[in-house]
Amino acid sequence: MPTDPVPGLLSRATELLEREFAALPAWQPAAIDDRAEGILADVAHRLKNNFPYFHPLYAGQMLKPPHPLARAAYALAMSINPNNHARDGGRASSEMEIEAVRQLAGMFGWTEYLGHLCSSGTLANLEALWVAGQLAPKSRIVGSAQAHYTHQRISAVLRLDYATVAADERGRMDLTALEAELSKGDVGTVVATLGTTAVGAVDPLEAIVALRGRYGFRLHVDAAYGGYFKLIAESLDEPARRAYAVIQQADSIVIDPHKHGLQPYGCGCVLFRDAGVGKFYKHDSPYTYFTSHELHLGEISLECSRAGAAAVALWATHKLLPPVPGGEFARGLADGRAAALELDRRLRSDARFLPLPGSPELDIVAWRVKADTLEKSSRLAHQVFELCAAHDLHLALVQLPLSWFAPAAQSTNSDAQVTCLRSVLMKPEHKTWLDEIWQRISAACAEASLH
């Protein structure tokens, strides 16, 4: 591993923080047991049983290392361990959360909104669908078949009816299928995804907004993965560019700073365009809110205790790398996308592979191995996946509809799935490591006797 800058940053900042509280009477915290160092050594040894998520040769799932400053700020805040449920539990960190969330909302063009951080995108989506259910309790929720499974599960938890809408061969919501559901007259909320988990597809948000004008549903945008691409939307292909151009017309948006936002887990965020939905969160507590007449984050969140350290880390990262078009942070997103486009280009020029139709919309690439049969293609994908890992290159596997690879993939079974290789190139370093990644893919294919 490279030299970690965090211990030095943290040590100096901890000294400064201790000075801030130097006026307090002296006290001695509980001593650390002599066994602690040995236990921590055991932890370090056990942690080796992980993939090297931090390294550019990890190009599998949606795992991006937090920025060193985010790690240091999080650890520094943990020396106080603030709770952002109420101002008296997290005074400074609550202010930092409000400021950081304001920057996220501003990224989507919102100046009037209601929003806060959550422990995950799942909780953020739950809040968005909970509000939708409060507004239309007897209406259905619909989302693409490629939307994250959490929407269907959350709807079940909330006892809301949910229906899936077919996706097209690019993994985007099929508009004809959507309108067929809308014409039934009982859809209250449509979930549009900007950056699906499987292939990074971007639903046709512009057309969905137009349908809202005719059918009057609530529009929730799950941009947990793809939200930050708003910063480089002008460089995306036209369909995705049009989607990001209207994202500010959504009723609610979810984004996960612990994905592209360089944050530790867990740090999600939910935003509502109408701040009036805060009325659904209103409650009375005789013991929580008594130190300020200002808004408490706990009054606009379904979660109670929430790590203030997550807000501190995000605030610090925004200070260093503001989420604005043309900035260093945005350039990092562009580098990851450039790596994905280059990998896709190489796959298309290689007779051993069959990528999905069209170029990647964000920074996720998926492709199948060419073979005489579906079963052999899936088996070879598993083999290449394992051989790549033996070469310290970590990809991912994904099951995709065989029909997406038509017309080359005709099948009598319209529901047939094929196991494909998948790579999430979300680290800026992937751009400069693409040659190395390709060499290892090629070496794995040679060992698998792919010609």
Helix, strand or coil, per DSSP, at residue 165: strand
Q: What is the 3-state secondary structure (H, E, C) of 210-274?
A: HHHHHHCCEEEEECCCCHHHHHHHHHCCHHHHHHHHCHHHCCEEEECCCCCCCCCCCCEEEEECC
Quick: pLDDT tens for 361-393: 999 999 999 999 999 999 999 999 999 999 999
| CA distance linking residue 223 with residue 230, whole number of Å | 10
Proportion of the chain above pLDDT 90, given as a percent: 83
- CATH of 329-447 among 3.40.50.300, 3.90.1150.170, 2.40.100.10, 3.40.50.720: 3.90.1150.170
> What was the pLDDT predicted at 285?
54
Enumerate long-range contacts of 135-141, CB under 8 Å, 24 or more apart.
135/188, 135/218, 135/277, 136/188, 136/189, 136/218, 138/186, 138/188, 139/186, 139/187, 139/188, 139/189, 139/217, 140/181, 140/186, 140/187, 140/188, 140/189, 141/187, 141/188, 141/189, 141/190, 141/191
Helix, strand or coil, per DSSP, at residue 315: helix
List Cα–Cα distances, 224 to 125, 147, 254, 268, in angstroms.
9, 11, 5, 8
pLDDT score of 411 more than 80:
no
> What was the pLDDT predicted at 151?
97
Q: Are both 91-282+292-320 and 329-447 of the same fold?
A: no
pLDDT score of 414 more than 90:
no
Quick: pLDDT tens for 202-225: 999 999 999 999 999 999 999 999
pLDDT band for 294, please (50, 70, 90 cuts). low
pLDDT band for 412, please (50, 70, 90 cuts). low
pLDDT band for 5, please (50, 70, 90 cuts). confident
Proportion of the chain above pLDDT 70, given as a percent: 94
Question: The pTM is what?
Answer: 0.94
- Can you tell me which residue has the tokens 């959550």? 118
Domain ranges (residues) in the chain: 91-282+292-320, 329-447
Residue 257 phi, psi (nearest 5): -60, -20
Can you list the positions of beta strands (E) in 52-129?
A: 114-118
> What was the pLDDT predicted at 282?
79
Quick: pLDDT tens for 66-105: 999 999 999 999 999 999 888 788 999 999 999 999 999 9
> What was the pLDDT predicted at 415?
80
Burial of residue 184 (CB within 10 Å: 0-12, 13-18, 19+) is exposed
List Cα–Cα distances, 6 to 45, 73, 162, 199, 250, in angstroms.
20, 9, 45, 33, 38
> What was the pLDDT predicted at 290?
42
Helix, strand or coil, per DSSP, at residue 25: coil
| CA distance linking residue 69 with residue 372, whole number of Å | 50
> What was the pLDDT predicted at 407?
58
| CA distance linking residue 251 with residue 160, whole number of Å | 18
pLDDT score of 121 more than 60:
yes
Quick: pLDDT tens for 169-196: 999 999 999 999 999 999 999 999 999 9
Mean pLDDT of 333-352: 97
pLDDT score of 291 more than 70:
no
pLDDT score of 318 more than 70:
yes
pLDDT band for 30, please (50, 70, 90 cuts). confident
Helix runs in 161-227, H state only: 175-182, 205-215
Burial of residue 429 (CB within 10 Å: 0-12, 13-18, 19+) is middle
> What is the overall mean pLDDT for the chain?
93
CATH of domain 91-282+292-320: 3.40.640.10
Q: Return the amino acid letter for 334.
A: A
pLDDT score of 263 more than 90:
yes
Is 355 or 412 the better-scoring residue by pLDDT?
A: 355
Mean pLDDT of 401-424: 81
pLDDT score of 289 more than 50:
no
- Kindly report whether the peptide bond that precedes residue 266 is cis, defined as omega within 30 degrees of 0: yes
